[in-house]
Amino acid sequence: MTTEKSKPAGIQGLWDVSDLEGPSVPAPSATERQSLAKAGERLGFASREPTPPKVAPPKPEKEMTARITIRIRPADKQRVEDYAYRQRKMLGDVMADFLDLAEAREREAEQAKG
Amino acid sequence: MPVISFVSPKGGVGKTTAALILATELAAKVGQQITLIDADPNLPLSKWSLRPGMPSNMEVIADTGEATIVDSIAESRERSAFVIVDLEGVASGRVTNAVAMSDLAIVPIQASLLDAEQAARAVSLIRTTARARGREIPYRILFNRVGASARIRTRNFKSIATSMDEAGIVAFETQLADREAYRSMFSHGGTLQSLDTATVTTIVAARANAEQFALEVIDVLRAEKAK
C-alpha cells in the first residue's frame, strides 16, 4: 500500500495540499510597515485609521486689560512695530521690556550719583 | 498555510463572492481548517457565517483594523491550511498590510474600463509592496460575473483582456460566471455543496465553475512555490 492510498478519501491527488506547507511570509517589522505605508500612500492607498483630534494649546490668561493711547513719531512707531515683529511679541510686552530697560538705566544713574 | 488576499480599490467587483466561493470550495475539498478574514467594514462574510450551513472546518474572523490585520493573518495561518482575506473596496493602508502578508493576491474585475483602471492600481500596489519587501508577491486577475457561456464575451471583455495581456498582467484562465447560485449563498447561508439543487438553478454548473477556480488557485500556488 502506498502512502497516497493510505490518506483519507477526498484529499488525494489534486486536493492534497500538503506540498504547499512551508515557511510563512514573515510579518513586516515596524520600520518595514512605515516604509510600506509610505509606498502605499504614494499610490493613493493611504491610512484611513481615525487620528486622535488635535488638542489646541491652552490660551494664556488675559492679563493685558489696561489701555493706553499715545502719540509718537511715525519713525518710532515703525521701529516699535518692527521690533515687536522681530521678537514675536505683543506691543504690551514690548512696552514692558522698554520699561524694564528704562528703570534699569534709572537705577544705574542713581547709583552713579552715590 | 498560504495566505490569499482579494484586492481591489473599487467596490462591487465581486471580491466577497469570489472569496466565499474559494473558501467554501477549499473547505469542502481539502478537508482542512480554512480561515476567512472579513476585512470589509460592512462585514458581509461575518453576516454570512451567522446563517446556517457554514462548514465545521471553516471560521470567519472579522478584522477591520489597519495594524491588527497583520497579526490576524499571522495567527490564522498557524492553525489553517488556507487563510483567505476579503479586503474592503477602497484604497487604504489595511490593503497594503494585507498584501504584504500574502502568498497570492487575487484582483477581481468585471469587464468594464473603470474596473480595469482600478485593477491596474491594485497591481501597482502589489508590485510596489513586493519591491519594498524584497520578495515576489504573485498575483492574478480574476474576471468575475462574466456571461455563463464562454461563447458570449463582450467587446469590452475582449479589449480589456487583450490590454492586460499586453501589459504583462496575468489573469486566471478560469472566469467566475454570473450565477444565481453564488448570490443564494448570501441569501440562504451555506455553501454551493449544501444549496438545494431543486430550488437553485444551474447549481451543478456553479459547482463545476467553483471547483475549477479553486484548483487553478492551488496550481498557481504550486507553480510559485516551485520557482
Minimal Cβ distance to A25: which of B93, B103, B121: B103
User: What gap in Å lies between CA A28 and CA A25, rounded to an integer?
Assistant: 9
Instruction: Mark yes or no for CB contact B225/A20 under 8 Å.
Output: yes
Give mean pLDDT, residues A69-89.
92
Give mean pLDDT, residues B93-114.
91
Query: What pLDDT, on a 0 to 100 scale, did the predictor assign at position A83?
Result: 93
Name the residue among B74, B141, B54 with its Cα closest to residue B106: B141
The lowest-confidence range among A62-66, A75-79, A83-87 is: A62-66
Instruction: Mark yes or no for CB contact A37/B135 under 8 Å.
Output: no
Which residues from chain B sit within 8 angstroms of residue A8, using beta carbons?
31
B146 touches chain A (CB under 8 A): no
B222 touches chain A (CB under 8 A): yes
Instruction: Mark yes or no for CB contact B128/A25 under 8 Å.
Output: no
B91 touches chain A (CB under 8 A): yes
Measure CA of the first residue to CA of the last residue in chain A; give whole Å.
120
Instruction: Mark yes or no for CB contact A45/B67 under 8 Å.
Output: no
Minimal Cβ distance to B128: which of A11, A28, A43: A43
C-alpha cell at B77: 495561518
Helix (H) or strand (E) holding B139: strand B139-143
Average pLDDT of chain B, as a whole number: 90
Show the beta-strand stretches assigned E in A13-84. none
Name the residue among B120, B199, B108, B114 with its Cα closest to residue B146: B108
User: What gap in Å lies between CA B77 and CA B137, rounded to an integer?
Assistant: 17
Q: pTM for the full model?
A: 0.77
**Residue A61: CB atoms within 10 Å:** 5
- Beta carbons within 8 Å of A4's beta carbon, 6+ residues apart: A12, A13, A16
Chain A contact probe: residue of B3, B26, B30 with most A CBs at under 10 A = B30
What's the gap in Å between the CA of B147 and the closest CA on chain A?
27
Query: What pLDDT, on a 0 to 100 scale, did the predictor assign at position B151?
Result: 60
| Banded model confidence at residue B129, pLDDT cuts 50, 70, 90 | very high
A5 or B73: whose pLDDT is higher? Answer: B73
Contact assessment for residue B67 and residue B60, using Cβ atoms and an 8 Å cutoff: no
- B131-169 confidence digits (pLDDT tens): 988 999 999 999 998 887 766 667 778 888 888 888 888
Q: What percent of chain B shows pLDDT beyond 90?
A: 60
Helix, strand and coil content of chain A, in percent to the nearest 5, comes to: 55, 0, 45
Most confident of A34-38, A96-100, B181-185, B198-202: A96-100
Q: How many CA atoms lie within 13 A of B142 on its CB side?
A: 33
Domain that residue B183 falls in: 3-226
| Banded model confidence at residue B99, pLDDT cuts 50, 70, 90 | very high
User: What gap in Å lies between CA B76 and CA A113, rounded to an integer?
Assistant: 88
Minimal Cβ distance to A40: which of B2, B71, B93: B93
Query: What pLDDT, on a 0 to 100 scale, did the predictor assign at position B150?
Result: 65
CATH for B211: 3.40.50.300
Which residues from chain B sit within 8 angstroms of residue A44, using beta carbons?
9, 91, 121
B198 touches chain A (CB under 8 A): no
Q: Which residue of A has its CA nearest to B123?
A: A43
**Whether the predicted pLDDT of A3 surpasses 70:** no
Contact assessment for residue B140 and residue B220, using Cβ atoms and an 8 Å cutoff: yes
Which residues from chain A sit within 8 angstroms of residue B35, using beta carbons?
none
- Bridge partners, residue B35, by sequence: B59, B83
Q: Which residue of B has its CA nearest to A38?
A: B93
Contacts for A6-12: CB closer than 8 Å, 24+ residues apart:
A8/B31, A10/B29, A10/B31, A11/B29, A11/B30, A11/B31, A11/B32
- Bridge partners, residue B61, by sequence: B37
- B195-218 confidence digits (pLDDT tens): 887 777 788 899 999 999 999 999
B31 touches chain A (CB under 8 A): yes
- Beta carbons within 8 Å of A48's beta carbon, 6+ residues apart: B66, B90, B92, B93, B94
**Residue B107: CB atoms within 10 Å:** 29
The lowest-confidence range among A17-31, A34-48, A54-68 is: A54-68
C-alpha cell at B52: 446556517
Q: Which residue has the cell 480554512?
A: B34
Give me the number of domains chain B comprises: 1
SS3 A11: coil
The CA–CA distances, whole Å, from A86 to A64, A79, A81, A90 equal: 20, 10, 9, 11
Which residues from chain B sit within 8 angstroms of residue A17, using beta carbons?
30, 32, 81-82, 218
Q: What percent of chain B shows pLDDT beyond 70?
A: 98
- B5-29 confidence digits (pLDDT tens): 999 988 889 999 999 999 999 999 9
Query: What pLDDT, on a 0 to 100 scale, did the predictor assign at position A11?
Result: 47
B12 touches chain A (CB under 8 A): no
As a three-state string, the secondary structure of B77-103 is: HHHCCEEEEEECCCCCHHHHHHHHCCC
